[in-house]
Amino acid sequence: MSFTVAIDGPAAAGKGTISRAIAREFGFAHLDTGLLYRAVGMKGGDPIIAARNLSSDDLARDGLRSLAAGEAASRVAVLPEVRAALVAFQRDFAQRAGGAVLDGRDIGTIICPEAEVKLFVTASAETRARRRWLEAGEQGGYEEVLAQVRARDARDIGRADAPLLAAPDAILLDTTEMTVAQAIEAAKEVIAERLETRA
């Protein structure tokens, strides 16, 4: 049985943490689709060729969680040819037996519009910048990270191809005032309820 959970949202909203926890809880496979774009951005050279030839080794390289990799991902993600090259990989992953959870920015709208569960995880720009700043080991100043978060939001929301937005039937999960445990629990409740109705 395939069961797809699509988790979208802006940078540092908590979607990755929630997705990994959901995958462990329900025994689903997990794909952080942002890593695909980070890997393409960090490979250098022609990003379209990099996307078409992406390997599992590329996804395992060091530094993919850095601020620089995030910036590189946002720059290559605006290229329609890069997105097209990575769509099939993501859709195949989503349909695997046993269930899958994918997190990104266009999972519920473009990659898996028929997903059984769609969550849109968000938080204020200030909260997300603080999280990203702490996650990066406080490299650079908080104000600089906040500016990067806002610039990335503008690029992701404003891009012509697959912009960041919540699917009409997505459940909004605002984590601004939530602890990690509270956010995970809220997501688990939604998924458990959907699984129960399918049983």
Per-residue pLDDT reduced to its tens digit, 31-41: 999 899 999 99
The pTM score is 0.85
Sorted by where each begins, the domain ranges of the chain are 4-192
Per-residue pLDDT tens over the stretch 99-139? 999 999 899 999 999 999 999 999 999 999 998 888 776 56
Tell me the residue type at 26.
Answer: F
Annotated binding residue 10: yes
Report how far Cα 26 is from the mean position of its chain's Cα atoms.
19
- The neighbouring-strand residues paired with 174 are 122
Annotated binding residue 11: yes
Annotated binding residue 12: yes
Query: What's phi and psi for 105, nearest 5 deg?
Result: -125, -15
117-122: strand order across its sheet: 29-32, 100-104, 4-8, 117-122, 171-174
Annotated binding residue 9: yes
> Which residue from 96, 107, 88, 100 is spatially nearest to 33, judged by alpha carbons?
107
Annotated binding residue 13: yes
Annotated binding residue 160: no
Fold classification of 4-192 (topology level): Rossmann fold (3.40.50)
Distance CA 1, CA 11 (A): 31
Annotated binding residue 84: no
Annotated binding residue 118: no
